[in-house]
Amino acid sequence: MISNKIDTVLFELREGLIIAWQAIRANKVRSFLTMLGIIIGISSVVLMTTAIKGIDASFQKGISALGTDVLYIDKWAWFTNEEWWKMRNRRKITMDDYHKFAEMAQLPLATAPVTNAARKVRYGDNVIENVILNGSSSDYVKTTNFTFDEGRFYNEIESKGSRYVAVVGSEVAKKLFTHGSGLDKYIKIGGVEFRVCGILTEQGSFILGSFNPDNQVFIPIGTIFKHFLNEEWGTITINVRAKNPSMIADTKAEAEGIMRKVRGLKFHQEDDFSVNQQEGLMSNYNTVVGVIQIAGLFITGLSLFVGAIGIMNIMFVSVKERTKEIGVRKAIGAKKRTILSQFLLESSVICLLGGLVGLLIAVIASLLLDKFFPTSIQISAVIIAMSVALITGIIAGLAPAYTAAKLDPVEALRYE
């Protein structure tokens, strides 16, 4: 005989599990159909969190490559509620503005004018359409955290002389130079021949939207104006890098002051330029991801909810169907608690099995998704998924199990 209370609980749990397992096995098809809801629910919850984590990780990687201590003086404000037409009417930022600004600014580590276009790049038979073509000065590299697989950024002489030299991103290099090194090879950008003087290290290929930092080419800004863009029409961006992250606020304040002076603004006039920061991009991104996360959790939560209702439904049917069995069990001494735990265990086991299968599907699916963006299933997601499955099982089983437990044995035995 069992005397200890814990032993009794363990004993009942073990016997209950055996009984539950027998009931599940006896109705294989129905158990599987019941599980299906939970399988779908759990796999979508796990996939969703994994996907969001994956996107987030690659975005963080990409953004840190751009540098968080860089300011971008632009005609447009990147993240703002201001009306776009107001900004459209602003004067463009010219190379002249840049030269004046660079001369006056004391705080920045480096400054560089940037403008860009999209062009076709060709090497031999290999062609890439719509590569982002950036024109900038040799100082541009100092405003980034670029590292090089091969070669270097173009130097001051090449930049000022508007030479035909190009620095290519890792993906561009990979696609163009299928055999051997691309360094010092001649490529054609929009039909104009350039010599490759540097190849960038891969920065991470996935970022929100279509912008891919590895799919870029950099050439001297003078050269881009000569062949691809009209200096009179276009506006440029001035990249300003602070000496360190703690100097960003001061550098920004100085930049705003100098720009007002350069642009000849009176004290009552509004800024006709914007000093942008990655921080804006970050916070904007965080809002987007937040919305995706909430929407995703809501939708996947809904599918779990539907799955739970399915289980509750089946458990009710199962209780009804086994009324006589419950009556017999009660007649030979099953207590209310025993019947309650029998049905709770049954729905929990169904949900846990469903959760396990769902997890397996999520793992396989994430391996497939990994081809598109980096994913990895966190151990926390596994734990959360299984706990959610278990809790779903208990909640869905509660009402049916209670119905079974409080059945009157006399009535139950009479049931046919």
Partner 1 sequence: MNIINIEHIAKVYQVGDVEVHALQDVSLRIDQNEYVAIMGPSGSGKSTLMNMLGCLDTPSYGKYEFKDKNVSLMSDNELAGIRNKEIGFVFQTFNLLPRSDALHNVELPLIYAGIDKQERKERARQALINVGLEDRIHHKPNELSGGQRQRVAIARALVSNPAIILADEPTGNLDSKTGEEIMLLCHEIHKKGNTIILVTHEEDIAKHAARIVRLKDGRIEKDELVPNRYIPSVKNSTINFG
The residues that touch partner 1, with contacts defined as CB under 8 A, are 1-2, 8, 11-12, 15, 22-23, 26, 324-325, 327-338, 409-410, 413
- Nearest approach, Cβ of 22 to partner 1 (angstroms)? 6
299 contacts: CB under 8 Å, gap ≥ 6: 44, 48
Least spacing, CB of residue 327 vs partner 1, in Å = 8
Q: For residues 231 and 325, which CB has a smaller minimum distance to partner 1 in the complex?
A: 325
Closer to partner 1 by Cβ: residue 4 or 246: 4
Q: Per-residue b/e over 79-106, b at no fewer than 16 CB within 10 Å?
A: eeeeeeeebeebeebbbebbebbbeebe
Distances (CA, A) of 100 to 229, 255, 262, 271, 320: 22, 12, 7, 17, 85
Q: Among residues 24 and 63, whose Cβ is nearest to partner 1?
A: 24
Min dist CB 33 to partner 1, Å, is 19
Shorter beta-carbon distance to partner 1: residue 334 or 384: 334
Whole-number Å distance between alpha carbons of 174 and 169: 9
| Neighbour tally for 401: CB within 10 Å | 23
Measure the CA–CA gap between 142 and 213, rounded to whole angstroms: 16
CB 162 within 8 A of CB 226: yes
Dig out the tokens for 57 from the structure: 């990780």
CB of 412 to partner 1, least distance (A): 10
The least CB distance from residue 292 to partner 1, in Å, is 47
| Residue spans of alpha helices (H) in 194-247 | 221-227
* For partner 1, the closer CB: 250 or 411: 411
Q: Quote the tokens at residue 87.
A: 């900004």
Q: Smallest distance from the beta carbon of 397 to partner 1, in angstroms?
A: 20
When the beta carbons of 7 and 271 are compared against partner 1, the nearer one is 7
Contact between 397 and 344 under an 8 Å Cβ cutoff? The reply is yes
When the beta carbons of 14 and 261 are compared against partner 1, the nearer one is 14
Closest distance between partner 1 and the C-beta of residue 413, in Å?
A: 7
